[in-house]
Amino acid sequence: MSTSYLIKNAAILGGEPTDLLLQDGTIQQIAPGLAADDAVEVIDATGLVALPGLVDLHTHLREPGREDAETVDSGTQAAALGGFTAVFAMANTEPVADTAGVVEQVWRLGREAGHCDVYPIGAVTVGLQGERLAELGAMADSAARVRVFSDDGKCVHDPVLMRRALEYVKAFDGVVAQHAQEPRLTEGAQMNEGELSGRLGLAGWPAVAEEAIIARDVLLAEHVGSRLHVCHLSTAGSVEIVRWAKAKGVDVTAEACPHHLLLTDELAATYDPIYKVNPPLRSAADVEAVRAGLADGTIDIVATDHAPHPHEDKDCEWAAAAFGMLGLETALSIVQQTMVDPGLLDWAGVAERMSYAPARIGRVADHGRPIEVGAPANVVLYDPGATRTVDPSESASLSRNTPYRGMELPGRVVATFLRGKATVLDGKLA
Amino acid sequence: MPAHPYEESVPLSRVVLDAGDITRALTRISHEILERNKGADDLVLLGIPSRGVPLARRIAERIASVEGHDVPVGSLDITMYRDDLRLKPARALLPTEIPPGGIDGKVVVLVDDVLFSGRTIRAALDALGDIGRPTAVRLAVLVDRGHRELPIRADFVGKNLPTSLVERVKVRLLGVDDVDAVTIEGFGPQEGAR
Amino acid sequence: MKRHLLSAADLSRDDAELVLATADEMRSLADRPIKKLPALRGRTVVNLFFEDSTRTRISFEAAAKRLSADVINFSAKGSSLSKGESLKDTALTLEAMGADAVVVRHGASGAPHLLAHSGWVRSSVVNAGDGTHEHPTQALLDAFTMWKHLGESKPGGLEGRRIAIVGDVLHSRVARSNALLLRTLGAEVTLVAPPTLLPVGIEGWPVETSYDLDGVLPKADAVMMLRVQRERMHGGFFPTAREYSRRYGLDGKRMAMLQDHTIVMHPGPMVRGMEITADVADSDRSVIVEQVTNGVAVRMAVLYLLLGGSEPAVGGEE
């Protein structure tokens, strides 16, 4: 099997077509008209955009515990097919990733699977219970070298505990990724609170429940001089708060999910739980604000919040269904449709939001590097001119809960390279 | 498609009973009912909506003018008793009004505009059975056009009207329509260029 | 094809008035010696109740039986959300039994919608109350009761009539369905509640809202009191039951503010002394018992119009 690739006529970040030679795990040459020798496999990338390997700061791989929904192996296959070379695996597994043992297990499973690098996220509190800190230092010192900590799925709502977590992770340059959801304001909540929730009789999930926590947390982060990352920001008010905090110099970063860039709460009127997600789909005005925030850099990154669920957890009444939707294999297409095609972001912007910045926030050195000679050969070739109709049965994920079923989306990942090795070729797992 | 030279047919309409004919027919029926019943005692007239109802009222008026006292008159909707209920979209119900004295032990005269297959009357007999037990049930119709599909016949007939199955008999009555008339509408050959 | 009745919004004005007129005919059945019509002979109606509601179930059962349908009562209380037998498996069972209509009561908003659109069953689905969403047949029987009293039983009879719906609008499926249906029928609806019990975004509903019951009562042609559960107090929606009653309860003193023709309604079950006092509930203005009677006639009309013919005459699009 070939370990060297000569990529012909790829447009790096959408620029002038050129050739790339990937050899020995790094990018060896970049120049037009590179000659092929017999030892390299040539890939015609005419019409394709070359992007740095994407990095997802927010993935649920479900292993250990819910291997019926996803495994590290299946989830990382989906990631590779989506153009990702690194994913951060959320801590809400069973058992919870709140010890060095569990994070090392996930890290090892990722290495064995080999489809993309897996960086475990450690839980902030023991068992995600929000009562006392997990052994953050032990996880940081483990083989998994955890730098991102999150109780995602649950909010670290106790202000004292959140303050302590923000302070404590400074010792190893960690970051707390907050799932901003005030629990009392969202008891039993099912969908975005607005006229529609009232009409549908689904308990409302007010924007303020997210915004109040973000506002508190940026003030805490400023007070203790810590890094804060805001997960899946979904409302116009949240964008405003983060914009204000950044202007004040608070060390805060924020992420938006593809579904919050495209879908709105109107979809809840179908009562189809495929559209049930946490935080909920919001109004069209919120979607506009999140897009604008992502465009102007208020929102630093796109993260998928890829949340696989088995069929029976979505094939039921809305209130009984699980929160979450798949995202890895469609993320880049959604970003193209909502940000690139309307002119809100160019491909360099996409590289920043989906590769450089998430790697920076997660403190990963080998990913999120510009495509230049000498960099690790983490590259994705993407055809923005292609279109495809989403067929859930084609997903590499073990789950089928994509909200984009039957939708025609632009773009297609043609090839993904992880340290010079093809994980995806011709749009298929290599 | 018919390859017939007269395929371009036009609807034809001809009046078979005019207002005067209808009035005379109803008067005659009224007298026949009285004669058959030996007076108006225990009579109840039930019109089958929609056009059986004004006919029943007009017969009741004539009987009252002859006998000098009112005859109970009401309406009997047969929609839910139809044997073709499931063949068409659910139909709106029409009023059923049973006179206060009920129909038990009475002679019920069902009144309808046209007697055709007999299926409507079959349904009406079923409907009556759920309402009470009359001594006898009689049937009065303005027009009997034949083509019975059930063993049913009318006791009182305004006019026997032999028709073809492709023709339609249309009854219009004052109170429901703007005119008293019975017409036959059918399709005949086009008579040259007119 | 129109097959289901999931929301009061499924009904056009013509549909709704057809239901009312049909119910009027059905009501006369109560005066006949044989209280049965053959219209649904051979049809099977399943009452699928995931929540206890004896009165609604009995009303549908009586309606179906008076139309000669076969009735199967399926009580699946607590079996869905608690991860016992799922709604899907229950639905597939019913489908296998050949139900022509499923009357479903469920604690989760949208469950009837899911049943109708999932492909699990081919039958008509009638929403008999879902979560805090809708209860369209209750709205129809309420509208029918108003139409008999205020609308001279004529088409357009509720046009311009002023209806006050008072109480826990936030959690009330009855209020939602009534607001939609009464608007369709041309009535002017005012929802009266403390601000905590009105949904966010209610400005977008085709209704007026008020926090002041005393300001609304003198103009109302009908006053519908909604049940207020004492548990809401613990949710902090109002401070005490006593304060609620004082501000939003209908008592004799407030009843005296009503116009002579104004009727008082309640979908039941009542919490006497909370939202309505006994003297009001038992007064001449109260049509609460009549609402129950009309419930059977209205449900007969709905079942007949959905199942009586080759295809339904009213209801939502497939």
Architecture of the domain made up of A54-361 = Alpha-Beta Barrel (3.20)
Chain A neighbors (3+ CB pairs < 8 Å): C
Residue A273, pLDDT > 80, answer: yes
Domain C2-134+292-317 matches domain C136-291 at the CATH topology level: yes
The CATH label, of 3.40.50.2020, 3.40.50.150, 3.40.190.10, 3.40.50.1370, for the domain at B18-164 is: 3.40.50.2020
pLDDT higher than threshold 50 for residue A7: yes
Average pLDDT over residues A293-315: 97
Residue A371 has pLDDT above 70, yes or no: yes
Catalytic (active-site) positions of A: 305
The class of domain C2-134+292-317 in CATH terms is alpha beta
> Which chain C residues are closer than 8 Å to A201 by Cβ?
109-110, 130-134, 173, 176
Q: How many residues are there in chain B?
A: 194
Q: Residue A128's pLDDT is what?
A: 97
Contact C309 B92 (CB under 8 A): no
C28 to B96: CB separation less than 8 angstroms, yes or no = yes
Yes or no, beta carbons of B85 and C36 under 8 Å apart? no
Q: Which of A197, A204, A316 sits opposite C88 (nearest CB)?
A: A316
Q: Which residues of B touch C304 (CB under 8 A)?
A: 80, 90, 93
Does the structure show a pLDDT above 50 at A253? yes
CB-closest option in B89, B126, B131 to C313: B89
Contact list in C for residue A200 (CB cut-off 8 A) is 109-110, 133
Which residues in chain B touch residue C69, judged by CB atoms under 8 angstroms apart? none
Residue C88 touches partner A, C-beta closer than 8 Å: yes
pLDDT, block means (10 residues), chain C with 318 residues:
85 96 92 89 94 92 96 75 70 89 95 92 95 97 97 92 97 96 97 96 93 97 92 85 94 96 94 93 95 96 93 64
Q: Convert the pLDDT of each residue in B52-108 to its tens digit.
A: 999 999 999 999 999 998 999 999 999 999 999 989 888 899 999 999 999 999 999
- B111 with C18: CB under 8 angstroms? no
The four Cα atoms C85, C91, C95, C101 give a dihedral, to 10 degrees, of 140
Residue of A nearest to C120 (CA): A315
In the predicted model, what is the mean pLDDT of residues A281-296?
A: 98
Say what the pLDDT of residue C46 is: 95
Question: What 8-state DSSP symbol labels residue B48?
Answer: P
- Beta carbons of C22 and B93 less than 8 Å apart: yes
pLDDT at C33: 83
Q: Identify all chain C residues contacting A272, using CB atoms and an 8 Å cutoff.
A: 114, 117
Neighbours of chain B (3+ CB pairs under 8 A): C
| Residues from chain B contacting residue C313 (CB–CB below 8 Å) | 89-92
Nearest residue of chain A to residue C86 (CA atoms): A316
Q: What is the pLDDT of residue C306?
A: 95
Q: Which residue of C has its CA nearest to A192?
A: C200
pLDDT, tens only, A30-76: 999 998 888 899 999 999 999 999 999 999 999 999 999 999 999 99
pLDDT at residue C30, rounded to an integer: 81
pLDDT at C78: 56
Chain C residues inside the 8 Å CB shell of A318: 108-110, 114
Comparing CB atoms, the residue among C80, C110, C170 nearest residue A271 is C110
pLDDT tens track for A221-248: 999 999 999 999 999 999 999 999 999 9
- B80:C22 CB<8 A: no
CATH 3.90.650.10 fits A5-49+375-429, yes or no: no
C304 and B126 within 8 Å at the Cβ level: the answer is no
pLDDT of res. B6? 47
Return the pLDDT at C237: 93
Contact of chains C and B by CB distance (3 or more pairs under 8 angstroms)? yes
| Contacting partners of chain C (3+ CB pairs under 8 A) | A, B
Would you kindly state where each structural domain of chain C is located, as residue ranges? 2-134+292-317, 136-291
**Tokens encoding A403:** 């909200």
Facing A200 at nearest CB: one of C109, C117, C170:
C109
**Contact assessment for residue A363 and residue A312, using Cβ atoms and an 8 Å cutoff:** no
Quick one: CATH architecture of C136-291? Answer: 3-Layer(aba) Sandwich (3.40)
Angle at which helix C13-27 crosses helix C136-150, to 10 degrees, equals 70
Contact B89 C311 (CB under 8 A): yes
Contact residues, chain C, for B89 at CB < 8 Å? 309-313
Query: pLDDT tens, A79-119?
Result: 999 999 999 999 999 999 999 999 999 999 999 999 999 99
Helices (H), chain B: 19-37, 52-67, 119-131
pLDDT band at B194, cuts 50/70/90?
very low
Chains B and A touch (3+ CB pairs under 8 A): no
The whole-angstrom distance between C124's CA and the closest CA on chain B is: 14
- Which of B89, B98, B130 lies closest to C36 in CB terms? B130
> Domain extents for chain B?
18-164
- The number of angstroms, rounded, from the C-alpha of C186 to the middle of its chain's C-alpha atoms is 18
Q: Which of B81, B93, B132 sits opposite C33 (nearest CB)?
A: B132
pLDDT given for residue C235 in this prediction: 82
Cβ-defined contact of C110 to A198 (cutoff 8 Å): no
Q: What pLDDT, in 10s, does the model give residues B125-163?
A: 999 999 999 999 999 999 999 999 999 999 999 999 999
CB contact B87 to C (< 8 Å): yes
Query: Residue B188: pLDDT band by 50, 70, 90 thresholds?
Result: low
Domain with CATH 3.20.20.140 in chain A: 54-361
Cα–Cα distances (Å) from A330 to A17, A204, A312, A394, C148, in that order, read 25, 28, 22, 12, 57
Select from A199, A272, A315 the residue whose CB has the most chain C CBs within 10 Å, as the one to mutate to test that interface.
A199
Residue A157 has pLDDT above 70, yes or no: yes
Interface pTM, i.e. ipTM: 0.91
